[in-house]
Amino acid sequence: MRKILSCLLLGLAISASADSAAQTEWAGGGGVPGPVTDWSYYFASSENIDYYTTWGEFSLVYESVEHLVASDFEYAIDVYAADIDDDEDVDILGAAWGADDIAWWENRNGLGTSWTRHTVDGDFDGAYSVHAADIDGDDDLDILGAGLDCGDIVWWENDGTGGGWLEHEVDGAFDGASCAYAADFDGDDDLDVLGAASEADEVTWWENTDGSGMSWTEHAVQSGYDCPYSVHAADVDGDDDTDILGAALYGYDITWWENTDGSGTSWTAHHVDQVIQASSVYAADVDGDEDLDIIGTSSWDDEIAWWENLDGSGSTWTKHSISHGIGGACSAYAADIDGDDDIDGLCAASSSYDIIWWENDDGSGTSWTIHLVDGDVISAASVYAADINGDEALDVAGAVWGNDPISWWELIGIASTGWLKSSILDTETQPVWGIIRWTADVPAETSLTVEVRAGSAPGQMGTWTEVDSSGDDLSDYIADGKRYFQYQITLDSYDNEANPTFEYIIIYWSGVGVELAELSADSTDNGILVNWTVTGDIPSWIQVLREVDGEIAPLHADALPGSATLYLDRGVEPGVDYRYWLDVTEADGTVCRLGPTEAVRIEPEGLALSLSEPYPSPASDTVTIAFTLPDDGPMELAVYDLAGRRVATLVNGEVTAGRHEVVWDCSLSQSGVYLYRLKTAEDALVKRLIISR
């Protein structure tokens, strides 16, 4: 039998992805077992894998344990931690904008697992900010708050146990009070109060006139500062007095004000940077050079960044981005989270529902490693760090606006092991495997394992085999000819601070093309039945051609699907020699002509009872069945499933002698194998048909 006479390229060859597949992103998540022809950014499943924090890589999760403090603190907007009841453990404070509440929770056992709520003020309209400090100098912690809706700056005097509170107003006409903080601005060794008014566009401090918190003198720092959202106090220029920092949400600005003479009566503004929707500001020595830098967030740019105080005087600043893509970054804090004597960053992200901390890798602030504390906090609003469980390590406290809780998270460290399993890849061929490559960062005290498997069907995948090295030949690990492929990556850490990272994987293969295993044509009572079998790559389309006296012409206008194996040529005449060819369209657009069959003819003869093969086969929407009756008479043609149940009756009654065709609409029938039976008074014939979609 002759096989291939010609191959014509009807279109451009497809890209390298036809014989390779790569995955560089997994952020779409799991739940896609496959088979797929492109991994895209999905995968089948994973455990202890962080695939969502950093685009273009995955690593082990940073494990933390959430401890709920309060679940019904409506629109929790701010959180703080301090020892309110003077029992040498850390308690938690919160402001609830929706509930108009200022409250604190007593750490009953010092471990952070048992809490008792104490309401400080349950009618503080628009409670928006909370802070703890010894305002009256009596050696216990009082509470300071800002009420956004009432426009009040207030402090509550602690009776020493946290059980009784006496309200003292600092300012009752501070329109849109959004933030309050306590520090000594005039150098008289008592605590004054700093505030931001988002509606009045003012930054102000109030002098604690006699140190008791009973008398206050207002000092304007800056007016016309468009929507100051966050303020902080620190010695920015290193001259041993307290300066002020501010973030203007609508002014797109971070500024610090120099306490010019140390008395708080004269202030010089120093612009740090234009920051669109600057939402928080804090001061810390990020680069370890013994001067204070600034850390802040932009809720518009979804960014947390820090600004380097270049000469320590606060006159020149260089921005360093810590991370982008932190949706709705709204609260920044800085502390030594991992206990390595440098300053790390902490942030709440309201839009991406995240609380995250960034490890200051070398203490210089130029390299950061991201660690997700919790990725399912609906509209996180505020974060703070303190040792809540008394284990001498910092924990993270958070206020969550969206579903009202106050929580804290115990930071455990990098998970010891985790794995990610890819979707099953359909190569759409019987591949001859090439090489496999990957890129990963595997630091000391960690390891990475790559395993692969292949199968002839998605439900018949082989056993996992470990690949020794990137660049190895896949044929050394899995058998050629297996159409479906899957990989699995396992990450291990033997140090809860070391984390391996996987970034990229690609595999190569070559297809064997379409091979003709069989092509035949046989005469039947209904015409000439062309039957073929192809191996190797699955064709995209097949067209049957007929040759008569050297002339070759297609038999049908619409191409058959690549899975077709039969065609019945009904338009033949007795006594004529016919040969048949196949035009096979491969996946890359190449059309190969295969054939021909040996010559076949229909010899003239009398009519005989016959039942044709179905056309097309397999069928999807309609199928044609032809039959021949030698005599007039009653007959029945019906379709049955393999359980013997009648599915359809196609003919039932008197039929004249001769050849007949019936078209059955099988579109409502399920895919599968069916039998159809022709029954006359004298005989019966049965054949099989397949429905496939």
Report, in angstroms and rounded to the nearest whole number, the Rg of the chain calculated over CA atoms: 39
Q: What is the CATH architecture of 20-59+417-510?
A: Sandwich (2.60)
Q: How many CB atoms lie within 10 A of CB 692?
A: 12
- Between the alpha carbon of residue 577 and those of residues 316, 499, 570, 599, 601, the distances in Å are 94, 73, 14, 6, 5
Span 632-685, pLDDT tens digits: 999 999 999 888 889 999 999 999 888 788 999 999 999 989 999 999 998 999
- Helix, strand, coil fractions of the chain, as percent rounded to 5: 0, 55, 45
Dig out the tokens for 495 from the structure.
Answer: 């140090």
514-602 and 610-691 in the same fold: yes
Q: What is the CATH architecture of 514-602?
A: Sandwich (2.60)
Q: Which residue in the block uniquely carries the two structure tokens 């050629």?
A: 480
Residue 686 burial by CB count (10 A; 0-12/13-18/19+): exposed, middle or buried?
Answer: exposed
CA angle 492, 359, 282 (to 5 degrees): 155
How far is Cα 338 from Cα 572, in angstroms, rounded to an integer? 85
Q: How many CB atoms lie within 10 A of CB 625?
A: 24
How far is Cα 321 from Cα 308, in angstroms, rounded to an integer? 11
End-to-end CA distance of the chain: 32
Residue 586: phi and psi, rounded to 5, are -85, 175
Question: Going edge to edge, which strands form the sheet with 354-360?
Answer: 329-335, 344-349, 354-360, 368-374
Span 279-322, pLDDT tens digits: 999 999 999 999 999 999 999 999 999 999 999 999 999 999 99
pLDDT at position 271: 96
Q: What is the CATH architecture of 62-414?
A: 7 Propeller (2.130)
Share of the chain above pLDDT 90, in %: 70
Q: What is the CATH architecture of 610-691?
A: Sandwich (2.60)
How far is Cα 251 from Cα 201, in angstroms, rounded to an integer? 9
Reported as a pLDDT band with limits 50, 70 and 90, residue 14 is very low
Span 49-94, pLDDT tens digits: 999 888 899 999 988 999 999 999 999 999 999 999 999 999 999 9
Span 241-275, pLDDT tens digits: 999 999 999 999 999 999 999 999 999 999 999 99
**Cβ pair 63, 415 in contact under 8 A:** yes
Dig out the tokens for 357 from the structure.
Answer: 């901390």
Give the torsion through C-alpha atoms of 38, 39, 42, 47, to 10 deg: 150
Q: Where are the domains of the chain?
A: 20-59+417-510, 62-414, 514-602, 610-691
